Amino acid sequence: DSGVTQTPKHLITATGQRVTLRCSPRSGDLSVYWYQQSLDQGLQFLIQYYNGEERAKGNILERFSAQQFPDLHSELNLSSLELGDSALYFCASSPLDFLNTGELFFGEGSRLTVL
């Protein structure tokens, strides 16, 4: 158990809909990262937040948005869903000494299926 909690574990929805994925980082971790894992694209970095502020942005679509709340949990919002958005979405958090070790702690992921 990494200490990172993601909900829901599975989600099935239709094209055009909107969903919200939630992540609670490990206790004490200020940074939250979102990654998308699909069969044809591998593990793609989406976005990172540090203590409530956006720190780095990757290949995140405009239809997607994220935020980190004062209690440090984060939400990833996916809207106008398309079939190609079906993937496993991972959240990871990092400890305060991240810049030394670079270790990310991953949740078990939220599997999104768009029909």
Partner 1 sequence: GEDVEQSLFLSVREGDSSVINCTYTDSSSTYLYWYKQEPGAGLQLLTYIFSNMDMKQDQRLTVLLNKKDKHLSLRIADTQTGDSAIYFCAERRSSASKIIFGSGTRLSIRP
CA separation (Å) from 54 to 15, 34, 51, 79, 81? 28, 12, 8, 19, 23
Q: Does 25 participate in binding partner 1 (rule CB under 8 A)?
A: no
Q: Exposed, middle or buried, 32 (CB in 10 Å: 0-12/13-18/19+)?
A: buried
Stretch that binds partner 1, among 11-19, 22-30, 39-47, 68-76 (CB under 8 A): 39-47
Cα torsion 3, 103, 10, 72: sign: positive
Q: Does 89 participate in binding partner 1 (rule CB under 8 A)?
A: no
Interface with partner 1 in residues 46-75 (CB under 8 A): 48, 50, 55-56, 58
Residue ranges in contact with partner 1 by CB under 8 A: 2, 4, 31, 33, 35, 41-45, 48, 50, 55-56, 58, 90, 92, 94, 98-99, 101-104, 106-109
